[in-house]
Structure 1
Amino acid sequence: MDQMKVTYEVMLGLAAEMIWDEALRKHRSEQIYSEIDSALAKGDEEAFRALTEELKALEDLKECR
């Protein structure tokens, strides 16, 4: 019975970590989209390219999971 409790707690911890990771990824993606809009409005091509690369990297991480 104790082993089941430990296993259950570990699984809950992993589920919480997955939810937290997804929330952080989503928040950062929203920030990047906002920053991309600003870069476009300013005509800052260098910032635009860097931000789109970061966004692609975040999307690639999401697909790997």
Structure 2
Amino acid sequence: MEKKLLNSPQHSDENADAVVAEMFLNNVLLEFKREKIRKEIDQTLQDGNKDLFLKLTDELKKIS
């Protein structure tokens, strides 16, 4: 049976891949949230809902 050391290059490569994958997924999720809020903001403008517009623009500022 093959033993793997904690500091082996294979372990580092796996960690690096996991970090990159997590960063990618976080970025995709954040962009999805931004786009959803932008669409909701557009709808509030059409509806004339100032209170919801202000709430959504504040939320968009926080995640941008």
Same fold (TM over 0.5): yes
Give secondary structure in 2 for the equivalent of 1:6. helix
| Greater Rg over alpha carbons, structure | 2
1:4 is displaced (CA, Å) by 0.6
**Paired position in structure 2 for 1:10:** 15
Figure out how many residues of one structure are paired with residues of the other and give that number. Answer: 59
Unaligned stretches of 5+ in structure 2?
none
Per the normalisation by structure 2, the TM-score is 0.87
After TM superposition, the runs of 4+ consecutive aligned structure 1 residues lying more than 3 A away are none
**Paired position in structure 2 for 1:38:** 43
Structure number with higher helix proportion: 1
Q: CA RMSD in A?
A: 1.2
Per the normalisation by structure 1, the TM-score is 0.85
